[in-house]
Amino acid sequence: MSEPGKHYKERIKHDPQAAEDYVRRKPHKDKAEMDLVRRGFGLTDGVKSVLDAPCGVGRATILLASMGFDATGLDLGESAVEVARRELEKTQLYGEIVTGDLEDLAYDDDFFDAVLCFRVYHHFPNDEVRDRVITELCRVARKYVLISYFSPYSVTSLKRALRKRFTKKKSIQHATNLASIAARFERSGFRLKKNLPQFRFVHTLHLAIFERTN
């Protein structure tokens, strides 16, 4: 097992200020993203327990708890976990925030009814990391995995690709086509149920819902 988070460590919020800054991100952007998560879970059934991994500062964990789910948030960043616990406590909703490694989840098989993996897949730099994470998400999910990704078929993704090509600037965000993601899930016994763009037409952020078939 490699060092936890080694390949996407710049996105892990160990620094207290980085975690606090994320709490104060643009409200309209936060609302649009949480609306996408809400829409995704509206297409599931028979779900009671949900793992939000990575949970960051807890915004999706709090949303899921407010929707009546038994929500657990997990993150590798100590500061993110601390802030998420504080923000969850403010709401007086039931939930749990724990420290853990997305590539090596400390849960039994089928432990959660559903798993949410939001706004991190586009930071995975290679297929090895993607395979490890998806395998773990599927292992602990009894019925569903909901995972966000950046589509390459958007204006924003095209701009990033051109900037990378002509400026040689290294990108920490990687757009991925849905077919390659679906193929990974199929190897773990899941099929695509629905693919939701954040907004209609050619938006970058999508949420794919995968359902267990075995």
**pLDDT tens for residues 82-140?**
999 999 999 999 999 999 999 999 999 999 999 999 999 988 989 999 999 999 999 99
pLDDT tier, 28 (very low <50, low <70, confident <90, very high otherwise): confident
With a cut of 80, say whether residue 4 has pLDDT above it. no
User: Which of 21-35, 51-65, 80-94, 156-170 is predicted least confidently?
Assistant: 156-170
pLDDT of res. 1 = 42
Q: Residues 105, 139: contact at Cβ < 8 Å? A: yes
Tens-digit pLDDT profile for residues 36-88: 999 999 999 999 999 999 999 999 999 999 999 999 999 999 999 999 999 99
Q: Which of 54-58, 103-107, 145-149, 171-175 has the lowest mean pLDDT?
A: 171-175
pLDDT band at 174 (very low <50, low <70, confident <90, very high): confident
Q: Are 91 and 67 in contact (CB under 8 A)?
A: no
**Dihedral, 156, 161, 167, 169 alpha carbons, nearest 10:** 90
Two tokens at 138? 């599927």
**Which whole number is the average pLDDT over 138-152?**
96
Alpha helices, DSSP H, located in 67-126 = 78-91
6-198+205-212 under CATH 3.40.50.150, yes or no = yes
Report which residue type is found at 46: G
Chain center to CA of 149: 8
Rounded to whole angstroms, the Cα distance separating 118 from 147 reads 6
Q: Please check the confidence at residue 192 and state whether its pLDDT lies above 60.
A: yes
Question: What number of other Cβ atoms are within 10 A of residue 168's Cβ?
Answer: 7
